[in-house]
Amino acid sequence: MPTKIRFEETEDLIDICMDNVFKAVFTRTTPESQTALSRLVSAIIGMDVGVIAIVANEPPIDNLRDRQMRFDINCRAEDGEHINVEMSLNPNAFEPVRLEFHAGKLFTGQDLRGIEKSYNDLKRAYQIAILVRERFFPDGDFFHGFEYYDPKRLVSLNGRSRILTLELSKLEEVVKKPTTEMSGPELWAVYFKYLQDGKMRGKINEILEQEEGIAMASKVLLEISRDEVERARLMSEYKYELDMQSRLVDAKRQARQEVAKEIVDLLKSGKSPEEIIREYSPD
């Protein structure tokens, strides 16, 4: 391994699970960043993938123009596969259907124009989501790969689009395993989940020794964490995102309180629950 990385318990690392930090780590034009992205994608997809291009998407890592957008990484592999990778710190309840929508756009966005092209020229498309909080699927597995299939007969369509998810809230048993027995997705998931925990730095250091891509990502993260200007910029983005989210939540709560107060007043005035329901129901 070209670079030896170790973290002390006291090392003050910026949180890589913040989606803007995640993008900053994996989209730099440096060998470390590019190696880390290729190794991450390869581990999750389950085959060696060399990422050759980061497809232009907004907002770029140095643009604060629209901080409300998701900081995803849209890239293309050596064999033409289209890959979108997202870190979602606070995924919404509609996340699964959102992933389905964007997986469809990723696949159908390929250009088939021209007399020499057919549907067989379509490349595989992978929508990858690392979900930090919340649990979306009822089983205990943290890693899922979704594709089209007949659920009654268990026959696959053998399609070319995939949705791959890592739920970091389901790693209680995985983290107990020796790092030498962990799979690629397990190593990355434990790294993302427990990197901020100083008491877990021994486990993290074992992972760094075992997986070159994680060591490369850590090298970039260290540079960002120790760069006061870069760190301040990323934290400013995150603060803005939290401020906007808080304003929306507070507005919704206030609206619900106002509606509840109006309902109480209507009940006191003698209106029946049925009349109130009709009054508040959409036309």
List pLDDT tens digits, range 158-200: 999 999 999 999 999 999 999 999 999 999 999 999 999 999 9
Say if residue 101 is in the same domain as residue 145: yes
Q: How many domains does the chain have?
A: 2
Query: Alpha-carbon distance 255 to 251, whole Å?
Result: 6
Q: Quick one: DSSP state of residue 110?
A: S
164 by Cβ neighbours in 10 Å (0-12 / 13-18 / 19+) ranks as buried
Verify that 220 and 241 share a domain, yes or no.
no
Is 138 within a domain? yes
Q: What pLDDT, on the 0 to 100 scale, is given for residue 66?
A: 40
Q: Is residue 88 located within the same domain as residue 126?
A: yes
Q: How far is CA 105 from CA 91, 131, 184, in A?
A: 20, 20, 27
44 has a pLDDT exceeding 50: yes
Question: Is the pLDDT confidence value at 247 over 50?
Answer: yes
Q: Does residue 61 belong to any structural domain of this protein?
A: yes
Residue 63 pLDDT exceeds 70: no
139-147: average pLDDT: 96
Asked whether the predicted pLDDT for residue 245 surpasses 70, the reply is no
Q: How many CA atoms lie within 13 A of 55 on its CB side?
A: 15
Question: Among residues 226, 246, 266, which one ends one of the domains?
Answer: 226
Is the per-residue pLDDT at 123 higher than 70?
A: yes
- Where is the domain boundary, 195, 226, 257? 226
Last residue of a domain, one of 226, 241, 259: 226
Residue 149: domain span: 19-226
Same domain (yes/no): 45, 130: yes
CB-CB contact of 214 with 36 (8 Å) = yes
| CB-count burial class (<10 Å; 0-12, 13-18, 19+) for 16 | buried
Tell me which of 180 and 70 has the higher pLDDT. 180
Across the beta sheet with 51-54, what order do the strands follow? Answer: 51-54, 73-77, 82-88, 125-131, 161-167, 143-146
- With CA atoms as reference, report the closest residue to 190 among 159, 216, 211: 211
**22-42 mean pLDDT:** 93
Section 250-260 average pLDDT: 72
Report the alpha-carbon angle 61-102-242, nearest 5: 45
Instruction: List helix spans (H) across the chain.
Output: 19-26, 31-45, 95-108, 184-194, 201-210, 212-226, 228-268, 273-280
List Cα–Cα distances, 144 to 44, 162, 170, 185, 217, in angstroms. 10, 10, 12, 10, 23
Other C-beta atoms lying within 10 Å of the C-beta of residue 193 = 22
**31 in a structural domain:** yes
Task: Give residue 72's pLDDT.
Answer: 82
75-115 pLDDT, tens digit each: 989 889 999 999 998 888 899 999 999 999 999 999 888 77
Instruction: Please check whether residue 14 lies inside any domain of the structure.
Output: no
Residues 195 and 237 in one domain: no
Is pLDDT larger for residue 50 or for residue 191?
191
Tens-place pLDDT, residues 209-226 = 999 999 999 999 998 888
Q: How confident is the model at residue 67 (pLDDT cuts 50, 70, 90)?
A: very low
Whether residue 245 is found in the same domain as residue 207: no
What pLDDT is recorded for position 267? Answer: 76
Is the same domain home to 178 and 239? no
What radius of gyration do the chain's Cα atoms show?
23
Do 208 and 242 sit in the same domain of this protein? no
Are 136 and 44 in the same domain? yes
Q: Amino acid identity, residue 92?
A: N
Q: Does residue 34 belong to any structural domain of this protein? A: yes
- Would the pLDDT of 7 be above 70? yes
In-domain check, residue 5: no
The verdict on residue 271 lying in a domain is yes
Per-residue pLDDT band for 264 (boundaries 50, 70, 90) equals confident
**Are both 32 and 157 inside the same structural domain?**
yes
Query: Above pLDDT 70, what percent of the chain?
Result: 83
Question: In terms of domains, do 64 and 185 share one?
Answer: yes
Per-residue b or e along 24-59, where b marks 16 or more CB atoms closer than 10 Å to that residue's CB:
bbbbbeeebbbbbbbbbbbbbbeeebebeebeebeb
In a domain, 62, yes or no: yes
Same domain membership, residue 246 and residue 218: no
pTM for this one?
0.79
- 1 — pLDDT class (breaks 50, 70, 90): very low
Contacts of 147 (CB under 8 A, 6+ apart): 156, 157, 159, 161, 162, 163
> How high is the mean pLDDT of the chain?
84
